[in-house]
Structure 1
Amino acid sequence: MEKIQEFKGLGGMLNGFRDLVKDDKKIIFVGSPGFCTPFALFLGYPVREKEMAFIPGLEKENMRRIISTECGLELADPCSFDADTVVILGGMAMPKIGVTAEEMAAFLSQMSYKRLIGVGFMSIFQKSGWADALKFDNIMDLIIDGQVYR
């Protein structure tokens, strides 16, 4: 894949994501329950005026709308299974989650969408083989470094 944008920090991550989905009306995030849920809510914040949903794992029956409240973004009621863009979060490609690229491809074949975006950390889609196995339109790959001081 060709590099089309560079950014730094969490603000750059949010702006980069907002730019990727600027023309979309509905976005569905697919991620591992618990671990990926806050990332979907975080990424959705700068585009909170759009219709969004989160699917935990491959459990479409547990799909929930993402709504904007006075406390930020939250999961709400069930909703439809179609979107302009599907965003696969990198937790799904982690070996301990137990989902293969083939299982994800079969899951995606049940959905109606126009674009597929991967958002992950430390090249998880490339390392897991998902970058080659799935037809991503874009992959947003992030590295976050940090320190703890006393």
Structure 2
Amino acid sequence: MAEHEPLRGIPGILRPYKEYIKSLNLGEGDQVVYYGCVGTCTPFVELLAVTIRGLHLRQAFVPLLEEEKAHAIHDVPDIGMQASGEPVAVAPRVIVIMGGLAMPLMPVTKEQVRDLAARHTGAKIVGVCFQNMFERAGWTGTVPFDLMINAMVEPVTVTRPAP
């Protein structure tokens, strides 16, 4: 895949993510930890998690940057990957930063994310955002992303049937 290869749709987000995770040759049980906003980021985290479920990695979701509130992500039959109420210790080999953290009014700074990455020495840092959120928030020069996936959600068409 080229450095700035344009892709489309949900597969354009998921395929390069899975290819990148596979390229790291992680061992069974290594941990991928997603950091994001509760509610808005979790559906995207679950999509990313289902993409790599066959790699036998442990996955976890951390609300904001509050690692003490980390939840395991499990494959739930007939539903998909879901964050559980089960607490889990965080020891990531891959840190996935969701773009919702960079949105205005979020209580997370780019410096806090940079410091989080530094605390987890050797972990790869993946950013997944929409609408250039990391760039617009000024995070790209501070957070040391090893891979960044930026998806555009335009245009949006809404159709309503006539009454």
TM-score, structure 1 normalization: 0.90
Q: CA RMSD in A?
A: 1.7
Tell me, yes or no, if the aligned pair for 1:81 and 1:111 is still in contact at 8 Å: no
Higher-Rg member (1/2): 2
Letter in 1 for 2:5: Q
Identify which of 102, 123, 142 aligns with 2:132: 123
Instruction: Within 5 Å, give how 1:89-108 maps onto structure 2.
Output: 89-108=98-117
Corresponding position of 1:148: 158
- Superimposed CA distance per residue, residues 50-73 of structure 1 (whole angstroms, 9 cap, x where no aligned partner): 211110001111101100011111
Q: Residue 141 of structure 1 aligns to a residue in which SS? A: strand
Tell me, yes or no, if the aligned pair for 2:117 and 2:123 is still in contact at 8 Å: no
In 1: Cα distance, 2:108 partner to 2:133 partner: 13
Same amino acid, percent of matched pairs = 28
Letter in 2 for 1:127: R
Q: Which runs of 5+ in 2 are unaligned?
A: none
Corresponding position of 1:85: 94
Corresponding position of 1:75: 83
Aligned length: 149
Q: Residue 150 of structure 2 aligns to a residue in which SS? A: strand
TM-score, structure 2 normalization: 0.84
TM-aligned CA deviation for residue 13 of structure 1: 1.5
Structure 1 position 62 matched with structure 2 position 72: no
> Structure 1 residues 88 and 108, CA, compared in 2 at 3 Å: closer, same or farther?
same
TM-aligned CA deviation for residue 108 of structure 1: 3.0
